[in-house]
Amino acid sequence: MSTLIRNGLLCFEDRVEPADLLVRDEAIAEIAPHVTADADEIIDAAGAFVLPGMIDIHTHLADRIGNYDLADDYLSGTRVAVQNGITTVATFITETTDHPLEDAVACALRRAENNCYADHWWHLTPIRYDDAGWEAVERLIAHGFRTWKFYTTYRQAGLYCDYDRLEWILSKLSGRGIRVLLHCEDDDVLASVHLTDDTWQKPLAHALSRPPQAEVIAVREVLRRAERYDVALHIVHVSLPDSLELIADARASVQVTCETCPQYLFLDQTSLQREDGHRWICSPPLRSLYARRALAEMALNGAVDLFATDHCAFTRADKDRCRGHIPDVPNGIAGIGALPHLVYALFAQHRPEPLTEMARYLAANPARLLGTYPRKGVLAQGSDADFSICRAMTDGGPVRSSLADVHETYPGETSRLWFERVFVRGREVVRQNTLLHPEERRGKSVWPT
């Protein structure tokens, strides 16, 4: 099967270039000003952009967090992804006390098989550090799992990894091509905050209970601890300009990358001050308007390596149930479907070629971080034929972060990119925002290359 995309504006990190793109089977066979080869199907993309398949490296799907099942499973989460040009989704597998990590991995892979519209990648989190626990980690590394996530907080959930333990982990992983993802909030700072019962009735309490210094102190400490080891760190969901400054300063001595998320660029604590502010409870919490603006300014100027969502959606019913007692409201918001539109909006205001920025921050850099570039993340001969054909509009419909029954995270934001067609490994899966073959669930695990 071959498909020829004629006359599209191909989006690369450094330029937009008119060219033809030939797909043969699952890969890009040729890119040239004028491809002469014949093809089974020819698509005229005149006036449209051809954007490499985007990657959301931070999503939570098909999991149970605390007392709640997530609203999105692999099917619905990857569906909203492909409908918005995201062709690879990375998600988490976390060990629990009654589900050892290798069991959890086997279970997640089984559930994802033939159940995803996008390709998928896995980040793993162990919680046992005795000999048997670490032997399981070693077997999983040998199996090909290259990205591991740890938390400097969440003691009650059993995820807490203190700095000494983190350093021990870094020493074990040093020099082995592993990337360590870190959720940075200092647990001692969080534990030191005490709020009154009255305060806890209001959504803003969530932000007060997770103050900025918790993130900044944790970022500083993990960067300091990482200096001695040959391990790549990736700081997830950075929400503060001060954290970005620490990361910028550390880049000379630590292999460190970071992401921020649309919620820290497009939302702030005024959302938490609304009557229905519990809808926006996520961790780290939404920050001040000042922090949000400064973060956006820095992100526009290259201080983050990529954008990801931390999509962690709960149903309206679950989110609303405990709204009068904020500690019981599940932490997390939806975002996958909004990501491309919001990143486009961010750059379109300030940069002449927002699509090149998307090619960099939503495709190439995420693929590099996962170790799967240039197979993923770029339009190039031999790469997987993951891409979308999209158009920039003057205005559009509302963004939709999730297709599940969840509160919309970005009410009022509109989409100004229209995804006409989306291809995953050479197969057109979406046309005009509609899934073409709902019964075809071709997404498969991507492994480092």
- The stretch near Zn ion (CB under 5 A) out of 21-29, 151-159, 309-317, 349-357 is 309-317
Please, what is the minimum distance in Å from the beta carbon of residue 287 to Zn ion? 17
d(CA 29, CA 426): 10
Cα–Cα distance, 30 to 59 (Å, whole number): 32
Q: Is 224 within 8 Å of 252 (Cβ atoms)?
A: no
What's the closest the beta carbon of residue 65 comes to Zn ion, in angstroms? 9
Nearest residue to Zn ion, by Cβ distance, number only:
310
Pick 60 or 441: Cβ nearer Zn ion: 60
**In angstroms, what is the minimal distance from the CB of 432 to Zn ion?**
31
Taking CB under 5 A as the criterion, the residue among 310, 318, 384, 413 binding Zn ion is: 310
Which residue number, 102 or 310, has a Cβ lying nearer to Zn ion?
310
Give the shortest CB-146-to-Zn ion separation in angstroms: 18
Binding mask 102-141 for Zn ion (x = CB under 5 A): ----------------------------------------
HEC string of the chain?
CEEEEEEEEEECCCCEEEEEEEEECCEEEEEECCCCCCCCEEEECCCCEEEECEEEEEECCCCEECCEECCCCHHHHHHHHHCCCEEEEEEEEECECCECHHHHHHHHHHHHCCCCCCEEEEEEECCCCCHHHHHHHHHHHHHCCCEEEEECCCCCCCCECCHHHHHHHHHHHCCCCCEEEEECCCHHHHHHCCCCCCHHHCCHHHHHHCCHHHHHHHHHHHHHHHCCCCCEEEECCCCCHHHHHHHHHHCCCCCEEEEECHHHHHCCCCCCCCCCHHHHCCCCCCCCHHHHHHHHHHHHCCCCCEECCCECCCCHHHHHHCCCCHHHCCCCECCHHHHHHHHHHHHHCCCCCHHHHHHHHHHHHHHHHHCCCCCCCCCCCCCECCEEEEEECCCCCECCCCCCCCCCCCCCCECCEEEEEEEECCEEEEECCEECCCCCCCCCECCCC
Q: Looking only at residues 388 through 407 of this chain, which bind Zn ion when binding is defined by CB under 5 A?
A: none
What is the smallest separation between the CB atom of 261 and Zn ion, expressed in angstroms?
9
- Residues 254-293 vs Zn ion: string with x where CB under 5 A? ----------------------------------------
Stretch of 67-75, 115-123, 187-195, 307-315 contacting Zn ion, by CB under 5 A: 307-315
Q: Is 215 near Zn ion (CB under 5 A)?
A: no
Minimal distance, residue 341 CB to Zn ion, in Å: 20
Copy the structure tokens of residue 420: 């006409």
Work out how close the CB of 306 gets to Zn ion at its nearest, in angstroms, rounded to a whole number.
14
Tokens coding 311? 């999509």
Minimum CB distance to Zn ion smaller for 203 or for 335: 335
Smallest distance from Zn ion to CB 309, Å: 9
**Between 259 and 310, CB nearer to Zn ion:** 310
**For Zn ion, which is the closer residue by CB, 185 or 310?**
310
Which residue number, 152 or 383, has a Cβ lying nearer to Zn ion?
Answer: 152
**Which has the closest alpha carbon to 267: 149, 401, 363, 66?**
401
Taking the complex as a whole, the smallest distance from the CB of residue 312 to Zn ion amounts, in Å, to: 6
The C-alpha atoms of residue 206 and residue 401 are separated, in whole angstroms, by: 22
CB of 382 to Zn ion, least distance (A): 32
The one segment of 302-310, 336-344, 377-385, 407-415 that binds Zn ion by CB under 5 A: 302-310
Closer residue to Zn ion in complex, CB, 70/345: 70
Smallest gap, in angstroms, from Cβ of residue 330 to Zn ion? 13
Write out the two tokens for 205: 């309490």
The residue range among 303-311, 314-322, 356-364, 423-431 that interacts with Zn ion, by the rule CB under 5 A, is: 303-311
Shorter beta-carbon distance to Zn ion: residue 91 or 415: 91
309/315 with CB nearer Zn ion? 309
Q: Given the rule CB under 5 A, which of 95-103, 184-192, 193-201, 308-316 is the region that contacts Zn ion?
A: 308-316
The stretch near Zn ion (CB under 5 A) out of 280-288, 305-313, 377-385, 411-419 is 305-313
- Which among 424, 431, 390, 449 is positioned nearest to 27, based on CA atoms? 424
Q: Which residues contact 132 (CB under 8 A, 6 or more apart)?
A: none
Cα pseudo-dihedral 20, 25, 29, 31, rounded to 10: 20
**CB nearer to Zn ion: pick between 239 and 388:** 239
State in angstroms the smallest separation of the CB of 318 from Zn ion.
Answer: 17
Size of the site for Zn ion (CB under 5 A): 1
Residue number, 312 or 424, with CB nearest to Zn ion: 312
The residue (of 242 and 310) whose beta carbon lies closer to Zn ion is: 310
Where do contacts with Zn ion occur on this chain (CB under 5 A)?
Answer: 310
